[in-house]
């Protein structure tokens, strides 16, 4: 790998806006953007960037990057971007206090122009994916807009990363933007805790003279619609404590499983908050366990849940849901339950007032609430969330190409407003 500047915790997680002369810059002729051949024959309506787009997407998806193991894909991106005339840097992300024994992890920041970045717009997505790793594949034969691409991260969110890079390359190639207008930011950890974006946000807050960021374009699968916002979230563990005993005499003990089941039914049937924009708050029992044997009254039961919060405000909407859940637990048995919540936030609104885009709201979470600041927020990307995280994650070549055009429109819109 080429030399590039590393940000370390020892330096106080210095922000990439304060880069020095150690950044590698590569001579680059913007009138002749580099192209990399992709697989298969090309049709007559091929955009000029298709080869490089598909090659980049393939490289990204082919590199496993399950959360907490994103180092290789971050390193690849730094090489790829510096070869194309960008300043690129890695920002160290501290390991979680109670997380697994993991390798060093880094966010990637890249921009053109001066070594000290001063962007008006940030274009951002995440480079981590959920398990398990699924290899890259593409339909055989002539490549058309309907050609399907599969693999883990092909949609969520390496499709966004590849199309964002390509979109910015195209804008620079035709001198549609100034070199220091836009910065790419690709973060780790979005699928678990959002620690990559929170690290970047913290680095901005610690700067004496931070740049004035007008807008941030976040990449997630929105089916090429511009999102007006997404639901918030509340992520908690509930434990129930009972009294063990022989199953033949259940009245002599207290079943933690029975208490948990009764509480879960009440919570699923309850009104946990409704809004006109986002609909109902939903409650997913992601994992449930309890007891040790069929003929023993269970002493302990545990539920891990994720609620998708339909109410705001963004900073406190999740507390309304937490209070509703806690009230139901107290109603079932005020002494048996404990609830421990790792994180949460209320519903998130984004700007969708841009001509030429269909509008949508989505139910999943993003890194948007992890980046503090007074900036306009956009949410857009190729592919559908309905196949993300699944065994058949896929999107089409046409999805990727339309996203390149969409990101260019959003960047230009953001720079004008």
Is this prediction's pTM over 0.85?
yes
Which residues are CB-contacts of 234 (< 8 A; sequence separation ≥ 6)? 306, 307, 309, 318, 321, 322, 341, 344
pLDDT (tens digit per residue) in 305-355: 999 999 999 999 999 999 999 999 999 999 999 999 999 999 999 999 999
**Kind and range of the H or E element at 75?**
helix 71-82
The answer to whether 170 touches 102, Cβ cutoff 8 Å, is no
pLDDT of 38 above 80: no
> What fold does the segment set 49-229+349-416 form as a domain?
Aminopeptidase (3.40.630)
Tokens of 130: 């959920």
Residue 87 pairs in a beta bridge with: 111
Question: How far apart are alpha carbons 151 and 390 in whole angstroms?
Answer: 10
> What fold does the segment set 232-345 form as a domain?
Alpha-Beta Plaits (3.30.70)
Residues forming CATH 3.40.630.10 domain(s) in the chain: 49-229+349-416
Tokens of 201: 């946000």
Tokens of 304: 């891990």
Share of the chain above pLDDT 90, in %: 83
The answer to whether 298 touches 240, Cβ cutoff 8 Å, is no
Give CA separation, 85 vs 49, 168, 250, in Å.
17, 12, 72
Question: How far apart are alpha carbons 215 and 177 in whole angstroms?
Answer: 15
Tokens of 42: 């090309």
> What residues are labeled active site?
190
Q: What is the mean pLDDT of the chain?
A: 90
pLDDT (tens digit per residue) in 106-130: 999 999 988 888 899 999 999 999 9
The answer to whether 219 touches 127, Cβ cutoff 8 Å, is no
Q: How confident is the model at residue 23 (pLDDT cuts 50, 70, 90)?
A: very low
Residues forming CATH 3.30.70.360 domain(s) in the chain: 232-345
């Amino acid at each position: 790998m080429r030399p590039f500047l590393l940000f370390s915790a020892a330096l106080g997680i210095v922000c990439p806006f304060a880069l020095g002369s150690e950044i590698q810059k590569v001579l680059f002729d913007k009138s002749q953007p580099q192209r990399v051949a992709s697989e298969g024959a090309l049709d007559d309506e091929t955009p000029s960037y298709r080869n490089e787009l598909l090659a980049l997407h393939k490289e990204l998806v082919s590199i496993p990057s399950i959360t907490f193991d994103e180092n290789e894909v971050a390193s690849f991106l730094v090489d790829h971007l510096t070869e194309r005339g960008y300043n690129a840097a890695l920002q160290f992300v501290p390991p979680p206090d109670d997380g697994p024994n993991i390798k060093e992890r880094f966010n990637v920041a890249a921009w053109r122009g001066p070594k000290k970045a001063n962007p008006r717009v940030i274009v951002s997505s995440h480079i981590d994916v959920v398990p398990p790793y699924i290899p890259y594949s593409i339909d055989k034969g002539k490549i058309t807009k309907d050609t399907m691409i599969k693999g883990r991260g092909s949609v969520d969110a390496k499709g966004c990363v590849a199309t964002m890079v390509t979109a910015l390359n195209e804008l620079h190639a035709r001198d549609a933007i100034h070199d220091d207008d836009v910065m790419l930011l690709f973060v780790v950890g979005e699928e678990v805790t959002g620690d990559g974006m929170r690290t970047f946000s913290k680095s901005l807050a610690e700067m004496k003279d931070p740049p004035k960021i007008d807008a941030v374009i976040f990449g997630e699968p929105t089916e090429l619609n511009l999102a007006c916002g997404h639901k918030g979230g509340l992520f908690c563990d509930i434990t129930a404590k009972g009294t063990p005993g022989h199953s033949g005499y259940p009245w002599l003990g207290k079943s933690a499983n029975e208490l948990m089941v009764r509480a879960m039914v009440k919570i699923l049937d309850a009104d946990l908050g409704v809004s006109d924009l986002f609909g109902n708050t939903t409650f997913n029992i992601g994992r449930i366990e309890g007891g040790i044997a069929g003929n023993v009254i269970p002493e302990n039961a545990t539920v891990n849940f994720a609620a998708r919060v339909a109410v705001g405000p963004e900073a406190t909407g999740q507390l309304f849901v937490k209070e509703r859940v806690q009230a139901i637990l107290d109603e079932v048995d005020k002494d048996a339950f404990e609830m421990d919540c790792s994180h949460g936030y209320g519903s998130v609104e984004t700007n969708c007032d841009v001509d030429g885009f269909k509008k949508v709201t989505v139910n999943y979470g993003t890194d948007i609430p992890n980046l503090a600041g007074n900036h306009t927020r956009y949410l857009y990307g190729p592919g559908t969330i309905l196949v993300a995280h699944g065994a058949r994650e896929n999107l089409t070549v046409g999805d990727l190409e339309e996203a390149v055009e969409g990101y260019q429109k959003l960047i230009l819109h953001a720079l004008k407003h």
